[in-house]
Amino acid sequence: MSDKKVRSRRDFLVSISRLAATGFVAAATATTAAAISRSVRQLESSEKQTEATAEETVDALEGAYGLHPGQRRNHTKGVGALGTFVGNPEVREISRSALFSGEKLDIVARFSIAGGDPMASDTEKSPRGMALEFRLPDGSLHHMTMLSTPMFFAAVPQTFLDKFIALAIDPATGKPDLAKFKEFEASHPDNVLQTNFLQENNPPPSYANCAFYGIHAFKFINDAGKTTIVKFRFVPQDGEKQLSNAQLTSMSPNFLEQALIERTHKGPVNWDMIVTIGEPGDPETNPTLLWPKNRREMKAGTLTLTSATPSNLAGSYEINYDPLIMADGIAPTDDPVLLFRSPSYATSHTRRVRGL
């Protein structure tokens, strides 16, 4: 894709952010979770007629961001990191997973910017990602893929696919059709809560100052076979911070990678893993909806990162962070978006390792 088309697309994304803050999604701000839930049920019904396949999704990402051979189709821009995780054995009350043995586990991490543009600006009001590969003593792996937003933008796979179809680059103009994206926003109310969150919360000055959320609900299974529905997040010990509006206009478009590398040079960077325990009636299969704030929580462990490396040099570069690679004692719910992500990741990984 030409530099002109890349710039045009970035300009379009900036215009979307401004419109979202002042225009076409403003009317949806007061939409209640109940109304969104009703709309989601309608979307689920339509999904039975139109299946969003992994191939279609990866094709749509390439149509929206261009083809960048050998690179991820989504969360393309990133930085790698290495460290350890020590779980809290008290969590074995609800999960027999070796993550919570109390032993120090090696971690290969990756931080990223959402979207398929390898030149995306770090000042964009878009989600940040953190992916973790836990390497267990028996040689097995566990993956976690998280976002800087506590909710996702899609309750069903079709919404995910439709978003990137709406962002497709028009060959005649070199940029997406704003009218098509407006239509997507208006017809997919499940994306509203994340859109509002991104408009109300500026990006962090460093990945070390960002909380990351699992967004989906998961099953924790203990030694007795009892299942507990949970969500989790990682909270930075450096504190959560946001850039001011003035800082957003003055920051380098590539500040996040350097900020993390410099931070690790000063010493280890830590996050507390917090597990939230669900109660009957809490949404288990809709990642766009939040749980009540009064749920019981446990500190599940501490993530410590000791070094960071540019993406193409990092050990995380070749890893497919498949969210369904899970150690014994942790299992997925029937969340259709979580289950859909795995084959989409696999399709993207297959293409990039082939140099496509």
Q: What is the pTM of this model?
A: 0.86
Tell me what pLDDT residue 295 has: 98
Q: Is the pLDDT of residue 352 over 60?
A: yes
Q: What integer is the mean pLDDT of 99-105?
A: 98
Q: Is the pLDDT of residue 267 over 70?
A: yes
Q: 48 versus 78: which is more confidently predicted?
A: 78
Q: Which residue segments constitute the domains of the chain, with CATH numbers given?
A: 3-353 (2.40.180.10)
Residue-wise DSSP of 135-167 = E-TTS-EEEEEEESSSS-S-SSHHHHHHHHHHT
Q: Which helix (H) or strand (E) holds 300?
A: strand 297-310
Q: 42 versus 219: which is more confidently predicted?
A: 219
pLDDT digits (tens, 9 = 90+) for 272-297: 999 999 999 999 999 999 999 999 99
Instruction: Give the number of C-alpha atoms closer than 13 A to the C-alpha of residue 37, restricted to the C-beta side.
Output: 10
117 is written with which tokens?
A: 């543009």
Active-site pick, 75, 142, 216, 349: 75
pLDDT digits (tens, 9 = 90+) for 18-48: 444 334 334 344 444 554 455 445 444 444 4
- 203, 233, 21, 5: which is closest to 121 by C-alpha? 203
pLDDT digits (tens, 9 = 90+) for 324-341: 999 999 999 999 999 999
Q: Let me know the angle formed at the C-alpha of 213 by 207 and 215, rounded to the nearest 5 degrees.
A: 145
Rg (CA), the chain: 20
Q: Which helix (H) or strand (E) holds 259?
A: helix 255-266
Specify whether the backbone of 45 is left (phi greater than 0), alpha (psi in -120 to 50) or beta.
alpha
Q: Let me know the angle formed at the C-alpha of 74 by 72 and 79, rounded to the nearest 5 degrees.
A: 65
Q: CA 114, CA 334: separation in Å to the nearest integer?
A: 24
291-298: long-range contacts, CB 8 A cutoff, minimum separation 24: 291/231, 298/88, 298/90, 298/91, 298/274
Q: 20 versus 115: which is more confidently predicted?
A: 115
The reply to whether 75 belongs to the active site is yes
Question: Sign of dihedral through CA atoms 150, 196, 113, 58?
Answer: positive
The DSSP symbol for 39 reads H
| 39 CB neighbour count, 10 Å cutoff | 17
105 is written with which tokens?
A: 């586990």
Tell me what pLDDT residue 52 has: 56
Q: Name the least confident of 41-55, 160-174, 319-333.
A: 41-55
